[in-house]
Structures are given as structure tokens and as C-alpha cells.
Amino acid sequence: MNIEITNLRFTYPTGLEALKGINLTINSGEQVAIVGQNGAGKTTLVRHFNGLLKPTSGTIFIGEWETTKFSVAKLASRVGYVFQNPDDQLFSRDVLTEVTFGPRNLGYEKAKIEELVQRALSLTELTDKTDTNPYDLSPTWRKMIALASIIAMDTPIVIFDEPTTGQDAVNVARIANVIAELRNEGKTVITITHDIDFCAENFERVVALSNGQVLLDGPAREVLGQEKVLAQTYVDPPQLTRLGKRLGLKETVTRQEEFLRAIE
Amino acid sequence: MNLNRSFFVPVNSPLHNLNPLTKLALVFSMILPAFLSLPQLAPFLAIPILIAVFIGRVQKQYFNLLLKLVLPTILFMFVMQSLFLPGGETVILNLGIFDVTRESMQSAFYTVSRIFVMISSFAILLLTTHPSELMSDLTRRGLPGQFAYVIISTLQILPQMQAKAQTIIAAQRSRGLDTESSFRKRIGSLVPLVGPLVFGSLVEVEERAIAIEARGFTSKRVKTSLHEIPDPAFDKILRGILVILVIASFTLNLWLS
């Protein structure tokens, strides 16, 4: 299911123009990272994908649905959105009920709901915690519950808003694993992140936003190599990329394997 | 998102530059005579209030507040008082069992004038003074910190909870929660909203308590302030004049009655 954004502009009621003409196409099954300085418009942009915000002008199509013509609850069947702070959405007594909430809202059959919930719980390694109250678990596990509760909705498009903020290495690896699994299932994953190493290792395409406009858009290696342009939106290329540049490597490297191959 | 966390209008005006205590003194030099001096005085106090609005350059916000909050309140009070105040002989209007008399209307007019003076002067104070500036000036002069904290948090809690509720609603709608259709569904959808809101607010209160305690909130020692609030001679003289004016208005009252 493609996302088609044409001339998207958005102004907040306070008069702040957050998006100034965005044109972007995200194809079905792509893994896209959105980077850029604070206030560049990243969250404002992705909140348009599931209709939480409606464009001031311009259009967004999710498949053949124009977002202005559908309610958020309806769009939730196509776009899953994991919020930054899990505590803004967890309310159930136990993990199982929490994760079942989304798919039940979407009106799937009972058997399917059970299957989706079990799959989401095993992906996020929560299977042995189903009876626990979410607030008895650590913040890192609450983050995984928030992830599971969206994955269980089985939407073709999944959005993560800064999934790795405040997470330890083990949990970042878990999140990377979830994203890889979603890719194998052919889902579109869009992630807002400030964690540029995480971005380099897990995403094929990177979109850099600056001041409400698309600054760079392309394969991760091309975008992350442009140190000077990225500096405009206060993004540093990954350490390996910068080291590769200093060593005078011909190609831009972003991941360990590439780096090792290049210096051989 | 830029939410306005108080009434304060950040412009530069002579009123904004006054010391907060002087502004508080101005407020009470309006309210005390309005309530405790001759009733005939109250309507005339509208004149200095309107002048203050323009000196403070908060016309737009003040008249907005006046239209939405003050006028409906005082109109309602005026009607109720005119209808129900007993006594008075000069009947102007007869509505079945109710008599609207000249005396009851006059008394109602004085009462709403007093209310108008009170709300307006406090409104101007809040429009031209940042709440934290007012409170830090008062704590520096000896107001207990706990008291200032209660006032500040009361002024801020509503906009903060509103912002939090907005985020929670957005998160649950993203999970397919229907908040836009039938009334029954909406009632059912309250549970997923109230839980995180109450829990989140409790966590916030605890975190705030730890944060302010970490900066020595309950310490008994004299605290210095990074933010100096000027209190020039002009302010002190003005406060002196205001005290004299208030006393004069009481004397006038005793003399004439």
C-alpha cells in the first residue's frame, strides 16, 4: 500500500507553519527513516499519515484513501502508529488485554485476533509476561508492550516515533529485530529517529527534513554521506561514515561489514 | 505545540514594568474601596480600570475576557438581583409574583459594579504579570513557598492536563478507538483515556516534588534568587499613595454616612 504525499502544507492554530510543501512517495514494503533537527516537522508529517492531523493544503493518499475523507479510527486499519511515550496509551490491567485492544477495535474475528496477539507477543518477547500489569514492568518493557499493541493490529503500514530513545542495547536489538520481521512480512515501516547508527543499520531509505521541507531523500548510503547538507538540519553522519571519509575511502560506508570490506 | 500556559500577555508596557507588589496594591486599592466605601463609588472605578487596560496594552485580551466571562456573569447577577432583592417601593416592572423596583435595580447595579471592579482588576493583574514573577516577588517578601506553589500549580494544572489528554486521545484513536461516533461508544471510550491521564498526572506530581526538593524547596535557609525583580523608588512611593487613597476612601465613607 503506497503513501502518496502531494504539496503538503500544514499550519498549527498558533500560526506556526510546520510543513511547507512536502512531496513524497513511500512504496509498499519500504523501510524509511525520517531524520532532522527538533522542530523540523517529522512528527507533524507522520501524524498526517493516520489522519491525526489534516493538511492545511495538499493531499495524502494511503492506498486509494485520501486521509481527509476517513476518520482516524478507520485509518487505524491501514496505519499503525507507536507513540513515543508508552505511558500515553497503556491502560489495561494486564499485557494480554492491552495488546488485544487494537485488533479488537478493528473488528477482526476472534480466532484471528488471538493469532495476531500471540504473534505480536512472541515478536516482542512478551509471551511469558501476558498476565503482568504493564506498570509493574520497567519502562523498556512498557515500550515493547506499546510496540506489540500496534503490531497486533496487522496494519500494512507501521510508524514508530523515536523507538530507541531511552532504551538499552538489548532492547534496541529487540526493536531492530521487530523491524526486520515486519520487513520480511512485506510491511512498510516508517521510523522517526535521532539515533543515526540505528538508522544506518536498519533502514534502506532515509528522508532528512529541515524546516518543514524535504532536504534529502534517497538510499541510506547516499543521504548519510552528505555531511555538509545534513549539518543544515543538525544531523551527524554515523561515526563509521565519518571515519571512512577521513580515511579517504572511495565509497560511503554506513555499516560495519561495508567498512571492513572497504579497508581490506 | 505552543499552548498558552497562563493569561500573561508578553508585551512591553508601563504596567508590565511595575513591581508585582505594586500591581497587587493597585488591585486592592480598587477592590477595597469598591466593597467597603460608599456604594456609589464602585461604578466610577470603571474609569481607572479602563485607563489601566490601555496603559497595559492588553485591550484585545481584556475585552475578549470581558465578553466571554465577565459580561455573562454580571448580566445574570443583575437580572437575578433585580428580581429577588426584597424591599423597595417604586415598582417599575411587574412579572407575576415578582416586582422589579427602582431600589432593587439600583442595589443590583452597585453589586455588579463591585463584581466588575474585582474581576477586572484581577484580570489586568494576571494579563500584565507573569505568575512566576508575582510569586517569586511575594516569596522574597516572606510569603511561604508552599503557598506560592499551590497558587502556581493551580494556575498551570488545567492547561497541562489538557495537553496531556490531547496526546492520550491521539494515541488511542491511532489504535482504532472510535471517539467520533455514537454517544454510547464515546462513554465506553473514556476508560482508555482516563487511566493514562490519572496515572500520568500522579507520576508528574511525584517527579515535580522530587525536582523541587532536589533544589532545596523545604530548606529553611534564606534563598537567593537568580531573577532580580526591580522595586524602584517610584513603586514604593506609588504604593504609599495607594494606601493613603484607600484610607481616604474609608474616611469619606464614615464622614458621609
Q: CB of B171 within 8 Å of any CB in chain A?
A: yes
* CA A149 to centroid of chain Cα atoms: 15
CA distance A255 to A67: 36
Q: Answer whether B173 sits within 8 Å of A16, measured CB to CB.
A: no
Q: Answer whether A153 sits within 8 Å of B191, measured CB to CB.
A: no
Q: Answer whether B173 sits within 8 Å of A149, measured CB to CB.
A: no
Instruction: Answer for the pair A205, A33: CB distance below 8 angstroms, yes or no.
Output: yes
Give the chain B residue nearest A44 (alpha carbons). B1
**Which pLDDT value is given to residue B157?**
77
Q: Which of A14, A105, A150 has the most B C-beta neighbours within 10 Å, making it the best mutation to test the interface with B?
A: A105
3-state secondary structure of B25: helix
3-state secondary structure of A57: strand
Residue A57's pLDDT band (cuts 50, 70, 90): very high
Residues of A numbered 105-124 whose beta carbons fall under 8 angstroms of chain B's beta carbons: which are they?
A: 105-106
Number of compact structural domains in chain A:
1
Least confident of A235-244, B121-130, B188-197: B188-197
**Which pLDDT value is given to residue B143?**
85
Q: CB of A5 within 8 Å of any CB in chain B?
A: no
For residue A256, being part of any structural domain is answered with yes
Q: Answer whether B174 sits within 8 Å of A105, measured CB to CB.
A: no
CA of A247 vs chain B CAs: smallest distance (Å): 43
CA distance B65 to B61: 6
Average pLDDT rounded to a whole number, residues A166-188: 94
Average pLDDT rounded to a whole number, residues A3-8: 95
Q: Find the helix or strand (DSSP H, E) in which B86 lies.
A: none
Nearest to B167 among A14, A88, A101 (CB): A88
Q: CB of A62 within 8 Å of any CB in chain B?
A: no
Q: Answer whether B2 sits within 8 Å of A52, measured CB to CB.
A: no
Nearest to B2 among A14, A71, A80 (CB): A14
The residue ranking higher by pLDDT, A254 or B2, is: A254
**Which pLDDT value is given to residue B5?**
57
Q: CB of A16 within 8 Å of any CB in chain B?
A: yes
Give the chain A residue nearest B195 (alpha carbons). A91
Q: Answer whether A73 sits within 8 Å of B170, measured CB to CB.
A: no
Secondary structure of A81-97 in the HEC alphabet? EECCCHHHCCCCCCHHH
Q: What is the mean pLDDT of chain B?
A: 85
Q: What is the pLDDT of residues B120-144, one digit of tens each?
A: 999 999 899 988 888 888 888 888 8
Degrees, nearest 5: CA angle A256-A172-A187:
90
Q: Answer whether A91 sits within 8 Å of B192, measured CB to CB.
A: yes
* Burial annotation A16-46 (CB, 10 A radius, 16+ → b, else e): eebbeebebebeebbbbbbbbbeebbbbbbb
Residue that is written with C-alpha cell 504604593 in the block: B239
Instruction: Answer for the pair A221, A254: CB distance below 8 angstroms, yes or no.
Output: yes
Give the chain B residue nearest A15 (alpha carbons). B2
Question: Taking 60 as the threshold, does the pLDDT of residue A189 lie above it?
Answer: yes
Instruction: Answer for the pair A119, A152: CB distance below 8 angstroms, yes or no.
Output: yes
3-state secondary structure of A193: coil
Tell which phi-psi region holds residue B215, choosing left (phi > 0), alpha (psi between -120 and 50) or beta.
Answer: alpha
Instruction: Answer for the pair A29, A193: CB distance below 8 angstroms, yes or no.
Output: no
Residue A104's pLDDT band (cuts 50, 70, 90): very high
Residue A249's pLDDT band (cuts 50, 70, 90): confident
ipTM for the predicted complex comes to: 0.86
Question: Taking 80 as the threshold, does the pLDDT of residue B1 lie above it?
Answer: no
Q: How many CB pairs under 8 A join A and B?
A: 75
Tell which phi-psi region holds residue A107, choosing left (phi > 0), alpha (psi between -120 and 50) or beta.
Answer: left
Least confident of A43-47, A129-133, A251-255: A251-255
Q: CB of A81 within 8 Å of any CB in chain B?
A: yes
Residue type, A13: P
Could you tell me what percent of chain B has a pLDDT over 70? 96
DSSP annotation of B29 reads H
Which CATH number is A48's domain given? 3.40.50.300
Q: How far apart, in Å, are the Cα atoms of A102 and each of A116, A177, A200, B89?
A: 10, 22, 30, 70
Residue that is written with C-alpha cell 510508524 in the block: A159
Q: How far apart, in Å, are the Cα atoms of B208 and each of A126, A204, B211?
A: 32, 42, 5
- Burial of residue A97 (CB within 10 Å: 0-12, 13-18, 19+) is middle
Question: Taking 60 as the threshold, does the pLDDT of residue A84 lie above it?
Answer: yes
Instruction: Answer for the pair A31, A186: CB distance below 8 angstroms, yes or no.
Output: no
Average pLDDT rounded to a whole number, residues B109-119: 92
Residue B151's pLDDT band (cuts 50, 70, 90): confident
Q: What is the pLDDT of residues B81-113, one digit of tens each?
A: 888 877 777 777 777 777 788 888 888 999 999
Question: Taking 70 as the threshold, does the pLDDT of residue B4 lie above it?
Answer: no
Question: Taking 80 as the threshold, does the pLDDT of residue B156 lie above it?
Answer: no
Nearest to A102 among B175, B193, B195 (CB): B175
The residue ranking higher by pLDDT, B178 or B129, is: B129
Q: What is the mean pLDDT of chain A?
A: 92
Question: Taking 80 as the threshold, does the pLDDT of residue A59 lie above it?
Answer: yes
- Could you tell me the residue ranges of all domains in chain B? 14-130+228-256, 144-214
Nearest to A91 among B167, B191, B203 (CB): B191
Q: Answer whether B170 sits within 8 Å of A47, measured CB to CB.
A: yes
Residues of A numbered 155-214 whose beta carbons fall under 8 angstroms of chain B's beta carbons: which are they?
A: none
Question: Taking 50 as the threshold, does the pLDDT of residue A138 lie above it?
Answer: yes
Residue B2's pLDDT band (cuts 50, 70, 90): very low
Nearest in space to A143 (alpha carbons), one of A95, A208, A73: A95
Residue B15 is placed in which grid cell? 504596567
Could you tell me which residues come within 8 angstroms of residue B28 by beta carbon, excluding any fewer than 6 positions away? B242, B246
Q: Which of A47, A83, A89, A135 has the most B C-beta neighbours within 10 Å, making it the best mutation to test the interface with B?
A: A89
For residue A50, being part of any structural domain is answered with yes
